[in-house]
Amino acid sequence: MQTFFTSLYSALISIFQSQRPADYGLYKTDLFSLVGWSTLGVSLLLVLVFYYVFNSALRTGMFRTTHWVLTLALAAGLGTFLANSLSKSHGAEVSSYLGYFMVVNMLVAALWFLIFSVLLKRWSTYARTTPFVGPF
């Protein structure tokens, strides 16, 4: 999976910035994989909480598309926070590359949230049609 995350982040960041920083080796060996797994886990956790805690176990009635969009925004915000805090804690220099990494991870977190929503929403008691009705 390290190769997957390295390829994903390298390709998406290269859309914004083609020049790699001096500490790219740190991103390639540690940060892409660490941030990728963390983002995937947080997005999955938020989907499970939205569909199965709030809309099945607790019956809160948070099944509207607005609630889903707010949870998606939370996932994206946490993705940005994870990329920033984990990168800085592992010694990455503050640079434009880190900024683009944060933006890309925000998009990746939102994408993971959307994918997990499509895969897991059907077993929710109250939110099985949130955010959209369809065969998926």
**How is the chain split into domains, by residue range?**
43-129
CB 45 within 8 A of CB 125: no
Q: What is the mean pLDDT of each run of 10 residues along the chain (136 residues)?
A: 94 94 94 98 96 80 87 98 97 95 98 95 81 69
Nearest to 83 by CA among 109, 105, 61, 55: 105
pLDDT at residue number 134: 65
Q: For residues 4 and 7, give the distance between their C-alpha atoms in angstroms, rounded to a whole number.
A: 5
- pTM exceeding 0.95: no
CA angle 31, 91, 86 (to 5 degrees): 45
